[in-house]
Amino acid sequence: MGLMDFIKSQLIDIIEWLDDSNNTLVYRFPDQDHEIKNGAKLTVREGQAAIFVNEGQIADVFPPGLYSLTTQNLPILSRLKGWKYGFESPFKAEVYFVNTRRYMDMKWGTPNPIMLRDAEFGVVRLRAFGIYAIRVKDPATFLREVVGTDGHYTTRKIEGQLRRTLVSSFTTHVAKAKVPAIDLAAHYDTIGARSMNNLQGEFEPLGIELVSFVIENISLPPALEEVLDKRASMGILGDVNRYTQFQAADALRDAANQPGGIAGMGVALGAGLTVGQTFGNAMAPSAGGAVPQPPGAAAPPPPPGGQSFHYAANGQNQGQLSVNQIAAQIRNAPAGTQHYIFSGGQWVKPQDVPAVAALLNPKYRYAVNGTDKGEVAMDQIVASVCEQPGGSHYIFSGGQWVKPQDIPELGAAINAELSKRVPPPPGGGSVPPPPQ
């Protein structure tokens, strides 16, 4: 090899870069201390830009195209080096290729929950995640402000900074939106657009453009999601009586799968029916809409939730009362008063509502003539006392056996029943008043 051939082999005459990665932002062309031949070919492909750097200073920037490197298309480099027109000697310069295409499907997410004040649930903690896309808009600014002298700069080296900036802006705008937590899904696009507009001002000084910003999901804490699931279940529940039947069927199925088989089915069935009826009593107004009116009564407004019932006396709606209040109203009402309670989607008699019936006709441990009868309903005790006035009647109360008349409710009921059984005087007529 001759001297001239050796010299030519040390000159770079083709400068190009084929990127086979999906995350390289900037690549420095390897010159290996070789000089660039005057008239060398520079190939810049679509989605690329080439930057010539002379002694640490950015010179010429080339968009996509095929170039012959001469003083005509290297004006800045020629000025920096003091070349005169027609200069044809080899020269040294660093060449950086910058990818200007879009980098898509980059992930962002909140590393910690965002604390927000919600009008319905109070203070809630939200998590969010999504994707975004960027591209290098100003290659020279990006090289100057971000890359520096890094010969192989990838998205991994800047993702952390971009992600933290994205989360900060998103947090600010989701708080300013003041949207209820359960309605956030309908405002993803609005919050995302506002965040993206704000972020453009953050990215532009770096030579980067935020092409897209997408909110994929904003999630609520598990405890709050359970509350919402229960609320949704109540909303689609529909007929409370059908819910009671479902509870009973579910209890039968579970009991059949448990040790004890059929023996446990009765207990499970009773539990399912009790839960279903309790739920129905509490939820009947909301499940069936407005409460229908009893005979002669105006329709009441939908009551709030809780263990209480709408009560009507003689066709007049008395509003929503607790079971204790209803029992007191019934006891103190004049004889012949018609009582109704709204339960299970309809107006029924008090004795058909277990929670009220238990107060109106409570059970006591009862013994008559020395025989312990166990737990007996009050009306049965009253009948027994009135039918055997000379018998020995006792009620176990307060840790001891006492007379039925010592229990105020029992005593009043017995006296009222005895007064009904006073025989008429001979010959008819009413009972005469007692002597003065």
pLDDT at 287: 40
**Contact present, 133 and 211 (Cβ < 8 Å):** yes
Kindly write down the DSSP assignment for every residue of 101-128, as one continuous string.
Answer: S-EEEEEEE-SSPEEEEETTTEEEEEEE
**Contact present, 360 and 412 (Cβ < 8 Å):** no
Task: Quote the DSSP letter at residue 260.
Answer: T
Confidence class for position 45, pLDDT limits 50, 70, 90: very high
pLDDT at 306: 43
Residue 288 pLDDT > 60, yes or no?
no
pLDDT at 308: 81
Q: Among candidates 167, 165, 159, 161, which has minimal Cα distance to 218?
A: 167
The residue ranking higher by pLDDT, 427 or 359, is: 359
**Contact present, 392 and 369 (Cβ < 8 Å):** yes
pLDDT at 309: 83
**Contact present, 178 and 117 (Cβ < 8 Å):** no
Beta bridge partners of 53: 58, 94
Say which CATH superfamily domain 107-136+152-223 falls into. Answer: Band 7 domain (3.30.479.30)
pLDDT tens track for 366-396: 898 888 888 888 888 888 888 888 888 999 8
Per DSSP, helices labelled H in 11-103 are 75-81
Rounded to the nearest 5°, which phi and psi values hold at 257? -90, -5
Lowest-confidence range among 43-47, 348-352, 391-395?
A: 348-352
Structure tokens at 106: 């980059």
Confidence class for position 317, pLDDT limits 50, 70, 90: confident
Q: Where are the domains of the chain?
A: 6-99, 107-136+152-223, 290-360, 361-420
Confidence class for position 181, pLDDT limits 50, 70, 90: confident
pLDDT at 435: 57
CB count, 10 Å around CB of 4?
Answer: 8
pLDDT at 183: 87
- Residue 145 contacts by C-beta under 8 Å, 6 or more apart in sequence? 205, 206, 207
Round to whole Å and give the CA distance between 287 and 344.
10
Confidence class for position 328, pLDDT limits 50, 70, 90: confident
Average pLDDT on 309-328 reads 84
Round to whole Å and give the CA distance between 345 and 283.
9
Residue 96 pLDDT > 90, yes or no?
yes
Collapsing DSSP to helix, strand or coil, 402 comes out as strand
**Contact present, 312 and 347 (Cβ < 8 Å):** yes
End-to-end distance of the chain based on CA atoms, in angstroms? 155
The residue ranking higher by pLDDT, 270 or 162, is: 162
The residue ranking higher by pLDDT, 127 or 265, is: 127
pLDDT at 3: 37
The residue ranking higher by pLDDT, 401 or 211, is: 211
Average pLDDT on 62-69 reads 91
The residue ranking higher by pLDDT, 222 or 87, is: 222
Collapsing DSSP to helix, strand or coil, 82 comes out as coil
Confidence class for position 76, pLDDT limits 50, 70, 90: low
